[in-house]
Amino acid sequence: MLDLASPSNFPLINPEIVSEEGAVVAEEGCLSVPDFTEKVKRAARVKVRAKDRAGKTFELEADGLMAKALQHEIDHLNGTLFIDRLSPIKKSIFRRKLKKALAETA
Ligand SMILES: [Zn+2]
C-alpha cells in the first residue's frame, strides 16, 4: 500500500487505472477550465499501476479525494478534461458559458 505521506512515492510515471470500484458524484473544477465547476461521476475507489523514479512498477489503491485526483490527472494524460465526462446537456451549458465569457473578453 502506498504511503501518501511520503513524497518519495511520487511522481507516478505512466500511471494507468487497472481497476475501479463503486461510483461517486462530486463537484470538480480544473485549472485548464477556469471558472467552471460541475458534478462529475467517478469511480469511488481505484487501483493504479505506475512506475517509480527507478523504473520499478508498483500499484496503489486510493479512495476519496486521492481517487478523484488520480482519475482527473490520468484523464489529462489521456487528453480528457472533466467537461468531456459531462452529460450532453451539461456540456451544452458549459459551451454557452464559454461562448459568453469569450464574447465578454473580445
Ligand atoms: Zn485538471
List 16, 27, 73, 104, catalytic entry = 73
pTM (predicted TM-score): 0.84
For the segment 45-81, what is each residue's pLDDT rounded down to a tens digit? 999 999 999 999 999 999 999 999 999 999 999 999 9
Residues with CB under 5 A from ligand 1 (ion): 30
pLDDT of residue 4: 57
Range of the domain at 31: 7-105
- Do the domain assignments include residue 2? no
From ligand 1's centre to the CA of 69, what distance in Å? 9
What total of structural domains would you count in the chain?
1
Percent of the chain scoring above 90 in pLDDT: 75
The CATH number of the domain holding residue 59 is 3.90.45.10
- Do the domain assignments include residue 1? no
10 phi/psi in degrees, rounded to 5: -120, 155
pLDDT of residue 6: 58
From ligand 1's centre to the CA of 71, what distance in Å? 10
From ligand 1's centre to the CA of 32, what distance in Å? 6
73 is catalytic: yes
Distance (Å, whole) CA 43 – CA 63:
9
